[in-house]
Amino acid sequence: MNEKTASLIDGHLDHVLTPEQHQELSEWIRSSPDNARRFAAAAMLHDRLRNELMISGSQPDESGCRVRENSDTPNAAATPNSDESGSVTFFRRRSLIAFLSTAAVISIAIVLFFKSFGNSPTLAAASELRRLIELNALPMDRTYQITVEETVLPRRGRRGPSPEDGRPPKAPLDGATLYVRDGQQFVLSRITAAGPFVTGSNGKVSWAVRPDGPVRYSEDLNRFNRDVPGHEHDMPLVNIHEGLARLRQSYEVQLLPIEEAEFPEPATRLLVAIRHPGERGAKRVEISYEVESGLIRQMRFIEMPYGPQSLTLRLTLLSEASPGEHFFDHESHHDANRRVEAE
Amino acid sequence: MDEKTRQATRYWTLAQPAVSAFVTSVVRDFRDRDDVLQDIAVAVVESFERWDSARPFVAWAMGIARNQVGLYLRRRRRDRQMLEFDTETVNALVSAFSDIADEDAQPQLDFLQECLKRLEGRARKLCELRYQQDLKPAAISNLIGMTANAVAKSLERIREQLRDCIVHKAAAQGTVR
């Protein structure tokens, strides 16, 4: 390991790298398992230093020796001091670290032991849903792929009046990409025969960029969200947190067994929610998530009302990276010379 | 405490140093490391029954750590200033820390405490500010009248000397592999 790489590792541990240096270090780690192990060895020392100094910080100073910072003979500075008290302290210290670690786990085990009382499948499912809601309350950007599995049209004569009557048919959802951000911001991008059809909202105005014609926007945030499934039934897919909260109120929730995955893939679990009689929204919702992190990878909505139709569709998480600060403004989705009209 | 929990505790105690170092290397902030490590310990004990004993425990625990670290990063991602490793790099680190734990690199690091006793003066002070107070070089520089760059360089040099000291002691006691 050359001096420059050593400096990058130390700089990373001390938070002094620039983004470019950080990228350089990341590439170096990825370039070979040996490099990754060298980094790991440096991090082990750094981590242990924290533990040792935290312990010694709570004890009287017993130092009497020194490491000479500019020694001509580096190893001379590190000559073993073969005193017996050193060995005793050494083992005491090692035992202390092991004890602290064990004590932490024992206290966790006791908590888990008491938590296990009174657990029923229903309570466990409700508790797991609560945990998912908490974990997904984070205000962050998410990108989903929409896949429509089935579309059911209403039987002739069975349908009453609908707000969709008289409106042009909705553009196809299958294959669409949905970007969401907190504050009811979203972008729904669909490909039609005429070209891309994008609707969205930046939280201040909602807008639609059709393949042709002017770009339209409105201060009514609901004006252009009718194509996002779920908006009519208080389960807006643009807000995963609200959607999960709605499951708590209007659905019976069940948990399926954990599914193990091949290392290093995390274990996943399926949470199934079945709509209570008399409630509106999808008949059944299936949520597939990573057990430890609560990261929702896929949501499946079965028989979800969508205009006059009923859809079975799934949302698959593509990314949690930000698509860009201005991505939810309509200007990011059309040429600057396009005509823009307010509604 | 039942036998399973006792067993989980034993295994976790052995795996914890490598898992902790992995978390530190990605999370970096020591206080955050402690929080993440606690979540990992809970997850390890909770899901211990799912561990396949044909597989190394550290690698399994490291998988849980990776997921918990991922969760932490998701929480922090809104902080646009934060530098983080991409998934590929994190996976490379998971393998590296698992390998290091399997190689049992711990005995050498056990000499660190003796080597630390040899630090004095400004070197000792820098270590205390960095590791006891969890201050970054910029904050340390305000306290001791050095530039942040000089603080970072000094810390780098101190760690290098401690590493040399550890290797030397391990060699003298015959614990070098």
pLDDT tens readout for residues B80-115? 556 788 889 999 999 999 988 876 656 688 889 889
The Cα B159–Cα A42 span in angstroms is 9
Neighbours of B122 (CB within 10 A): 13
- Asked whether the ipTM of the predicted complex exceeds the cut of 0.90, the reply is yes
pLDDT of residue A255: 84
Determine, for residues B161 and A67 on separate chains, whether the beta-carbon distance falls below 8 Å.
Answer: yes
Give the residue extent of every domain in chain A.
Answer: 1-53, 133-154+171-185+226-342
Residue A98 has a pLDDT of 52
Please, are residues A34 and A67 in contact by the beta-carbon 8 Å criterion? no
Test A56 with B92 for CB contact under 8 angstroms: no
Over the stretch B152-167, which tens digit does the pLDDT of each residue have? Answer: 999 999 999 999 999 9
Q: Is A19 exposed, middle or buried (0-12, 13-18, 19+ CB in 10 A)?
A: exposed
Q: Sign of the CA dihedral A275, A277, A279, A283? A: positive
Q: What is the pLDDT of residue A87?
A: 46
When pLDDT is cut at 50, 70 and 90, the band that residue B149 belongs to is very high
Residues B134-150, mean pLDDT to the nearest whole number: 91
- CATH, range B108-172: 1.10.10.10
Which residues have C-beta within 8 Å of that of residue A56, sequence separation ≥ 6? B113, B116
- Judge: domain A133-154+171-185+226-342, CATH 2.50.20: yes
Cα separation, B86 vs A296, whole angstroms: 19
pLDDT grade, residue B120 (50/70/90)?
A: confident
User: How far apart, in whole angstroms, are the C-alpha atoms of residue B13 and residue B7?
Assistant: 10
Nearest to B73 by CA among A180, A138, A29: A138
- What are the boundaries of each domain within chain B? 3-103, 108-172
B contacts of A264 (beta carbons < 8 Å): 63, 66, 91, 94
* CA of A98 vs chain B CAs: smallest distance (Å): 6
Nearest to A78 by CA among A93, A94, A67: A67
Q: Residue B67 above 70 pLDDT?
A: yes
> A67 and B118: CB-CB below 8 Å?
yes
Q: Reply yes or no on domain B3-103 having CATH 1.10.1740.
A: yes
pLDDT tens-digit series, residues B11-66: 888 899 999 999 999 998 888 898 899 889 888 888 888 888 888 899 899 988 99
Judge: B41–A86 Cβ closer than 8 Å, yes or no: no
Report d(CA B146, CA B77) in Å as an integer.
Answer: 32
- pLDDT means per 10 residues in chain A (343 residues)? 88 93 95 94 93 72 39 34 44 51 58 51 79 76 90 64 59 88 85 89 92 91 78 64 80 82 73 85 88 84 82 89 89 92 90
